[in-house]
Amino acid sequence: MTWHTLAPGTPGSPEWSHSGIAVDQAGTVYWADPAGGAILVQPSAGGPPSRIEVPLLEIHGITYDHRDGREVLWLADPGFKMRPPRYEPEARDGSAGCLDLATREFRPLAQPDLPQYAEQPWRPTAVALGADVVVVADGYGASLVHFYHRSGHLRALDGSDSGTGFRCPHGLAVLGHDLVVADRGNHRLVLFRLDGAYLRSFTHPRLRSPTGLAVQGNTLVVTDLDGALLAVDLAGDRLEEIVPFPAGRKQPGWPNLEREGVTVRPGLTAGTLNSPHGVAVGADGSIYLTEWVIGGREIRLTPSVGEG
């Protein structure tokens, strides 16, 4: 695949980007301002991104939807952000909901009224959409996956039906009639029916830290935070590296760089990933991804001649 770096919305920003990414059918790309509080929008024609202000701290998960005749972005905000210069956390309540791209109104879903939230915060990380359900991963809080209907909260999954409870269910995708959870702390993908019934789990030696999920035909495209972009065929129990893991050990201060006691942006090179995070697939087969790093990096991989 051919590598392109998207134009940054805030070049040279000292903010630590922790963004998702989405793309619509026309090729317009959406990701988060590294400083939070805004979506950056880049049309397919390119050029500097425009901004949509949103009342969120950290726009971590972004999912595009237009099925109801409206264009909306489903957003997940875990409610904390590492702030320069010392990269200490700013925290507030987490949130998940949809942003109407026409009216710019954000409508949050209600935090589930569950006993787990007496002890753990509500820290949503991703949203996926089924035919009649909205699924929210609380990857950084109670490690639950929640199903919503128009009438409200339906159910919560803790992963225990698989024999192992979730440890950071970070990313979500709907593949056919199934829900796939990137259970990052357990180094696996977990499949459920959209009614919540457990189906199976997928593990692989090269599935180290599955983070973001996108669907490309019958294949899952997976960002692995350790530095790879993967293609997973769940039906065939196969995994291939689209971008392989980097050679060598992680640098001190990864995903950034610790230099003389100061956290700085590391050197990033085309063709090698440092800390891939969000991922989306365009109608033309292009793969878009973000990196979890100071200033952020947004990448488009386009199919090369001869690739299907």
Q: Give yes or no for residue 302 having a pLDDT over 90.
A: yes
Q: What is the pLDDT of residues 49-59, one digit of tens each?
A: 999 999 999 99
Q: What is the pLDDT of residue 179?
A: 98
What percent of the chain has pLDDT above 90?
93
Q: What is the pLDDT of residues 219-274, one digit of tens each?
A: 999 999 999 999 999 999 999 999 999 998 999 999 999 999 999 999 999 999 99
Q: Quote the tokens at residue 191.
A: 């499949």
Q: What is the pLDDT of residue 307?
A: 58
> Which residues have C-beta within 8 Å of that of residue 190, sequence separation ≥ 6?
159, 162, 166, 169, 180, 181, 183, 198, 200, 201, 202
Q: What is the pLDDT of residues 108-123, one digit of tens each?
A: 999 999 999 999 999 9
| pTM for the structure as a whole | 0.96
What integer best gives the mean pLDDT of the chain? 96
Q: What is the pLDDT of residue 150?
A: 81
Task: Select the more confidently predicted residue: 41 or 44.
Answer: 41
Nearest Cα residue to 227 out of 175, 272, 257, 173: 272
Angle at 74 between CA 122 and CA 279, to 5 degrees: 95
How confident is the model over 206-222, as a mean pLDDT? Answer: 97
Residue 213 CA to residue 224 CA, distance in Å, equals: 10
Confidence of residue 69 (pLDDT cuts 50, 70, 90): confident
Q: Quote the tokens at residue 135.
A: 């699924």
Confidence of residue 45 (pLDDT cuts 50, 70, 90): confident
Q: What is the pLDDT of residue 299?
A: 97
Spell 8-43 as b/e; 16+ CB within 10 A means b: bbbeebbbbbbbbbbbbeebbbbbbbbbbbbbbbbe
What percent of the chain has pLDDT above 70?
99
Confidence of residue 306 (pLDDT cuts 50, 70, 90): low
Q: Give yes or no for residue 157 having a pLDDT over 90.
A: yes
